[in-house]
Structure 1
Amino acid sequence: MTLLKTLTTNQIKRWAGSRAYGRGEAYYQDERVRNLRERRGKIAATVRGTHSYHVRLWEDGKTIDYDCDCPVGLGGDFCKHCVAVALAWLEKQAPAGKTARRRQPKQAEADLTMKDVRAWLLLQEREALADMLLEAAVEDEQLVDRLMLKAAAARGVNLDAYRKIIDQAIGSDGFIDYYAMPDYYRGMDGAIDAIDELLAQGHAAAVIELSEYALQRTTRAIETVEDSDGYMSLLLERLQALHLSACRKAKPDQEVLAERLFRWELSGDWDVFHGAIKSYTQVLGMRGREHYRALAEAEWAKVRSLKPGENDQSRYCRRFYITSIMESLAEQSGDIEALVQVKSQDLSSSYAFYQIAEIYRKARRSEQALEWAERGIQAFGDEADSRLQDLLADMYHRRKRHDEAMTLIWPQFEQRPYLSNYQKLKKHADRYKHWPHWRQRALDQLRAVIEPRVKKPPRGQRPYRPGSDRSRLVEIFLWEKEIEAAWQEAVEGGCSEELWLRLAGLREKEHPRDAVAIYQKLIGPIVERTNNDAYAEAAALLSRVEKLMGRLGDKAEFRHNLLQIREKYKRKRNFMKLLERFGK
């Protein structure tokens, strides 16, 4: 299968989705694709936007694989840059006269290919090519790094030279902002490429040392970059994978490796080598695993036990990390009691009791699960984690102790009378067919909370503030498909804008005037938000009003209302543009 058969406009649209396709098409139309080239079945190019991004497309079996170093591309999506490159490549493949989608490129650009460039390069003298590379390197730091690494590799494995390259890629020139991160990532990723090449050349021991050095430098560098798109996490993941691959090939001393992994994991910096005992099991062997366990148990012996309500300042650092290590060891051994022993070292929160009860429940040891759940409730009462309450309630139901189960579930609704807790209450009441009783109790409780606020809302309270109207009742009745009951509550006590819109949509068919009244009332406040999204939302509501009033035979009234809206908001030019299509 050729690229031309696989890479079609329709396929590109399916991969990218309409939004990314539209943006990528705009990039293509604006001629932002640079240095488009194809070699050995691989397409590559640079796309210039706010920054320059590098795109590759290649055939992989019956489909096309791709990568782009923009944040969206790194997440695995077929991004707008991939779309732009794909469209630009398709344009080059089209027969003469078939590409009228944008102005034609200059003849020299259209005819010249990378094959022509390669043929020309092969005719040049070696010295001239070397000078060209060095000249290009003056303007390209990443090319400098690559050339330096190639030169270092030619001399043998010089660890100092590789450390220097790593240091240069990471840098120490201050804070790296969001917009500089893609280039920064590419530089560091290139340095890792060089380490990876060493592994392919059989220098696994050197790769172990260099990957650990790069991990140290990278974890320190995280504090000096703006990494909301997660570039540094990608680098850490790649370095750890490279380290593991190198260990599998080099087969280092098992006890030495165990100690290094343990120290790394115990430091807890950005979870480097987290769960090492699992991923390095085969590499460590019996001797390494036993040494790792001995180190962990020695550290664990220093950890004091915590009772309900107690605290430990180290619980979110060193204590946390050694606990995680001990849990991994216990899970790997398959010994449930060992895992419970680790968990029970910290009973300061009710969640710890839930975790232990859940361990026993999954192991089908229901009596021990029940015992730990009840211990947690006794220790924390109504303040216990809702997950613990839910678990114990479920176990009570299974034992036909329904009343005890409901004493755990009812307070959750009473304290937080939201739809989710109402649904939970129903789920538990249905287990012994007592929902009518609990439903009435829940509605009475909710009205008792709401009514004083509806009659006399607190001073300065904003419209539709949760708890100041009957939104919760409306939401509950809508969930129960009691549409008329929900409507009555809204009319009598008000509800949120979102719920009014839902009600209007439900009443359009049989009660169109009700829907019109709601839409007309909401259009003004939406327009007053003064942004294009709000204008579009208001225009959409107005479109629904137009259709409904047309059904009712009130077209003249709609035109009159439209004139009033235009007069009132005539200074909002973007909104006025959206109104041009109405009343025609």
Structure 2
Amino acid sequence: MTHALGFTEEDLRRLAGTRSFERGLGYLSAVSRLDIGVAVITATVDGTDAYEVELAEDEAGGLTGWCDCPYGQDGNFCKHCVALGLTVLGQTHCVQQQRSAATSRTRLLNTWLEARTREELLALVREQLADDRDLRRRLELRAATAGQDTVTARERILSLLDTRPFARYGYVEYADARAYGQQATEAVNALRTLTASGQAGAAVEVAREALLALGRAYGEIDDSDGLIGVVATGLAEAHLEACRTALPDPVETAEWLVGHLLDDGNDVTDTELFDYREVLGEPGMARARELVVAAWRANPKGWTQKYLMERLLKADGGSVDALVAVHAADLAPNGHTHLVIAKELEAAGRAAEALEWAERGLREAESDRGPDDDLVAFVCERYARACRLADVVALRRDLLGARPSLAAYQYLRTAARAAGAWDGSERAGALEVLKAAAQPQKDQWYDGSALVDALMDDADLDAAWQAAADGYADQQQWLSLADRIRDRQPADALTVYLRWIDPLRKQTGDSTYERMAELLLSARSCHRTLGTEAEFAAYLAALRTDQKRKRKLMATLDQHGL
């Protein structure tokens, strides 16, 4: 293993960002208790509090940092990590020596431990247990799971999943979730040990309780890193392993399993019914089918009930009609479920019925929610395959009328061009639809019309300019249009830039100053094309005089060479 540092100052800057990196420069003198190990570097950095900081290098040369300051606990590479990294880089000359010393210390410790007698090692462990309550509890759990004390094992495993010691305000916050997850992982290991030590039957029962406990607590944990989800998956896998070993009563297991799958608390585990096929056998699977069908009939609109029915039908080779019935019992208002049914029918070789369902979805979609874009694309693609291009155009035309937008206009244009019917009345009609949907208003800042966007998208800039002049454009559309005509119509573009500079004179803030500078640069470009640079210089001088009290604006203008 190499002893050289695998990171550079630039790596620290990249990981931390410029702001945290620069703030880290002020903490170099606050680094203490530095310990350079083979792959891990630790230290204490004094800030608002004394923070424990750790840098770790992986075999590929990547660097990670952890700090128990609030910013670091949110997963950020903080200023304290930067300070530690820079301190270590400043001691590059002795890193190899310190890492070699760490390797030697580890080797020496291992040699010393191997030379101790059984009695000496036991005395050493007991000494540590007297001072470390967490270590004592972990070893007590291992002792219980390795022996026959299932009562103690159950108690310890469930206590490891108790969130109360970590929920300072009734909720496990992100800063505490990592420690809770590490503790909960011990519960997974203990369950597997129970199974491996010949107590699989007990492991089955305890795992059920553990899954229930974590499922109920999960909603009160900030699991942004997904660590608790990994623990939940581990619990589910430990339960399955125990079942495969113990082979509990298949019918009773099926009843528990289906109940667990239908419980909202199962969302965290993603337990899969068919993973238990071997455990359940035919009697258990038959009982599971009965329960799933009954649950679906009682609540055909339940997401889990529908999912389980779909999985059963597909796994058992059920008929497509039965699958369609499951989906048809709860049709989404945007037509998405119709699309799901259409795809199932098409996959079964029933293309005509598939298209009928898709067309039905278009008809039944609620106007404020649909139709689903994928459903529309499905129907249009099938029409095109059948050379029904006029039907594609008609559908796209109807959708534009129902929900006018630039995207709907573009879809209609593509369809009409494919059918050779765009230039002429089709385009004119589409533009009339967009115009009718807009409300003209002079000098509006927001909510410009799709009409102007469509005309610019068509590169019909003269018509777009006229629509904007008629009040159909907002500020951003005016500016986009000015940018596109600036080279050939600099005088018109200049009027737009100057018009939108004036309101900014009364505003403050960094974003406002940057926006004013951008508009001034565009205006200067127009004056250069017109050969009127002196006029722009006079305008800029007057503006700077008028705004001179805004020192940040003056600095921004200077930065842009204005």
Query: Shorter-chain-normalised TM-score: which range?
Result: 0.7 to 0.9
Partner of 2:56: 57
Describe how 1:134-533 pairs up with structure 2 within 5 A.
145=134, 147-154=136-143, 156=145, 158-167=153-162, 174-176=169-171, 181-198=173-190, 201=193, 203=195, 205=200, 212-222=208-218, 224=220, 227=222, 230=224, 234-245=227-238, 247-248=240-241, 251=244, 252-253=246-247, 255=250, 256-269=252-265, 271-274=267-270, 276-278=272-274, 280=276, 288-303=284-299, 315=301, 319-335=302-318, 336-347=320-331, 349=333, 350-377=335-362, 385-387=371-373, 388-436=375-423, 437-450=425-438, 453-454=439-440, 457=441, 463-466=444-447, 471-526=449-504, 530-533=508-511
Q: For the residues of structure 2 that align with 1:448 and 1:547, how far apart are their CA atoms? A: 36
**Which stretch of structure 1 is more off in the superposition, 40-49 or 411-420?**
40-49
Once the two structures are TM-superposed, the CA of residue 189 in structure 1 deviates from its matched residue by 1.0
Contact kept, 8 Å, 2:67 with 2:80, in 1: the verdict is: no
Q: For the residues of structure 2 that align with 1:130 and 1:558, how far apart are their CA atoms? A: 85
The 3 A distance-change label for structure 1 pair 161 and 40 is same
Within the candidate set 549, 555, 558, 1:577 is matched to 555
Give CA deviations for 1:429-452 in whole Å, capped at 9, x if unaligned: 2342222242221012223444xx
Contact kept, 8 Å, 2:34 with 2:41, in 1: the verdict is: yes
The 3 A distance-change label for structure 1 pair 401 and 29 is same
TM-score (norm 1): 0.73
Q: Secondary structure at the match of 2:395?
A: helix
**Which stretch of structure 1 is more off in the superposition, 390-399 or 210-219?**
210-219
Once the two structures are TM-superposed, the CA of residue 185 in structure 1 deviates from its matched residue by 0.5
Give CA deviations for 1:331-374 in whole Å, capped at 9, x if unaligned: 33454344223212234744332321122234442112023234
Q: For the residues of structure 2 that align with 1:577 and 1:148, how far apart are their CA atoms? A: 63
Q: Secondary structure at the match of 1:439?
A: helix
Contact kept, 8 Å, 1:33 with 1:48, in 2: the verdict is: yes
The 3 A distance-change label for structure 1 pair 186 and 565 is same
Once the two structures are TM-superposed, the CA of residue 118 in structure 1 deviates from its matched residue by 7.7
Once the two structures are TM-superposed, the CA of residue 414 in structure 1 deviates from its matched residue by 0.8
Q: For the residues of structure 1 that align with 2:289 and 2:65, how far apart are their CA atoms? A: 41
What are the ranges of 5 or more consecutive residues in structure 1 without an aligned counterpart? 99-109, 138-143, 305-314
Once the two structures are TM-superposed, the CA of residue 575 in structure 1 deviates from its matched residue by 2.9
The 3 A distance-change label for structure 1 pair 583 and 326 is closer
Q: Secondary structure at the match of 2:473?
A: coil
Give CA deviations for 1:552-576 in whole Å, capped at 9, x if unaligned: 5545444433344334444544334
Q: For the residues of structure 1 that align with 2:125 and 2:527, how far apart are their CA atoms? A: 76
Q: For the residues of structure 2 that align with 1:472 and 1:434, how far apart are their CA atoms? A: 21
Give CA deviations for 1:364-388 in whole Å, capped at 9, x if unaligned: 4211202323444555697862444
Percent identity reads 25
Q: For the residues of structure 1 that align with 2:377 and 2:331, how far apart are their CA atoms? A: 19
Q: What is the one-letter code of the residue matched to 1:344?
A: A
The 3 A distance-change label for structure 1 pair 378 and 503 is closer
Q: For the residues of structure 2 that align with 1:78 and 1:403, how far apart are their CA atoms? A: 56
Q: What is the one-letter code of the residue matched to 1:153?
A: R
Contact kept, 8 Å, 1:36 with 1:45, in 2: the verdict is: yes
Question: Over aligned residues, Cα RMSD in angstroms?
Answer: 4.7
The 3 A distance-change label for structure 1 pair 191 and 264 is same
Q: Secondary structure at the match of 1:57?
A: strand
Once the two structures are TM-superposed, the CA of residue 423 in structure 1 deviates from its matched residue by 1.5
The 3 A distance-change label for structure 1 pair 581 and 342 is closer
Once the two structures are TM-superposed, the CA of residue 526 in structure 1 deviates from its matched residue by 4.8
Once the two structures are TM-superposed, the CA of residue 3 in structure 1 deviates from its matched residue by 6.6
The 3 A distance-change label for structure 1 pair 446 and 84 is same
Q: For the residues of structure 1 that align with 2:396 and 2:31, how far apart are their CA atoms? A: 60
Q: For the residues of structure 2 that align with 1:50 and 1:211, how far apart are their CA atoms? A: 43
Contact kept, 8 Å, 1:390 with 1:409, in 2: the verdict is: no
